[in-house]
Amino acid sequence: MKKITLGCGAALVLGIVVLVLAVMGSYNRLVRLSQGTDSAWAQVQNVYQRRADLVPNLVATVSGSANFEKSTLTEITAARASVGQMKIDPNNAPTDPAKLAQFEQAQGALSSALSRLLVVSERYPDLKASASFLELQTQLEGTENRISVERGRFNDAVQAYNTAIKSFPANLYAGMFGFAEKPYFAAVAGAEKPPQVQFDFNKPAPAKP
């Protein structure tokens, strides 16, 4: 009887050890996945910041063109300022869907303003003579492509993380250890296509008033 009791006790201890090791392994996996979302978010922030850094030079170069629409320049400057006012941690992926939505809205407004600026720029063939403008055009196109790529990678990282915290056994304790579900970037129709930045310099410039 004593041997049976000792055997049951040993089995119980062994079971507890196995359970603890399983929880530790699962917890460490959640930590790695959470850090993966933070790393992907930092990359998203980097490419958006690169775009914001291009705007002042782009505006300065375009504004040098005769009779360029001032309203367009005002709009893009205001959109960039709005992006700069977004207070969101650049190193930790957001857990509040509302904050991510606000971030997306501000960045979307800047995207729209840039698109309109580039469309208007097509009416000014003299910009073709500006090496600075052509260089900025190339940099902006590359940056928009990187934004699309990094947003996709962020969503992939968030999907892996969210799936893990909802899977057994992590779903039993993830919340207790602060592993909260993280929001995705919303899929917007046409968002996978960067703004068209090709120019038709053969169009005549608008007549001077």
1 pLDDT band, cuts 50/70/90, is low
Return the pLDDT at 17: 63
Q: What does the block give as tokens for 105?
A: 């809205």
51 pLDDT band, cuts 50/70/90, is very high
pLDDT tens for each residue of 118-171: 888 878 877 766 788 888 888 998 999 999 999 999 999 999 999 999 998 899
The reported pTM is 0.79
Does residue 180 carry a pLDDT above 90?
Answer: yes
Beta-carbon contacts of 156 under 8 Å, excluding residues fewer than 6 positions away, are: 40
CATH class of the domain at 35-177: mainly alpha
Return the pLDDT at 128: 67
111 pLDDT band, cuts 50/70/90, is very high
Return the pLDDT at 102: 93
191 pLDDT band, cuts 50/70/90, is very low
Return the pLDDT at 202: 42
Beta-carbon contacts of 63 under 8 Å, excluding residues fewer than 6 positions away, are: 73
Return the pLDDT at 106: 94
The conformation of residue 204, written as its DSSP 8-state character, comes to: P
pLDDT tens for each residue of 12-35: 666 666 566 666 778 899 999 999
Return the pLDDT at 83: 92
190 pLDDT band, cuts 50/70/90, is very low
Helix (H) or strand (E) holding 120: helix 97-121
Residue of higher predicted confidence among 45 and 199: 45
Return the pLDDT at 32: 95
Does residue 85 carry a pLDDT above 80?
Answer: yes
- Mean per-residue pLDDT for 167-180? 90
206 pLDDT band, cuts 50/70/90, is very low
Residue of higher predicted confidence among 113 and 87: 113
The Cα–Cα gap between 62 and 69 comes to: 10
Chain-centroid distance of CA 65 in Å reads: 33
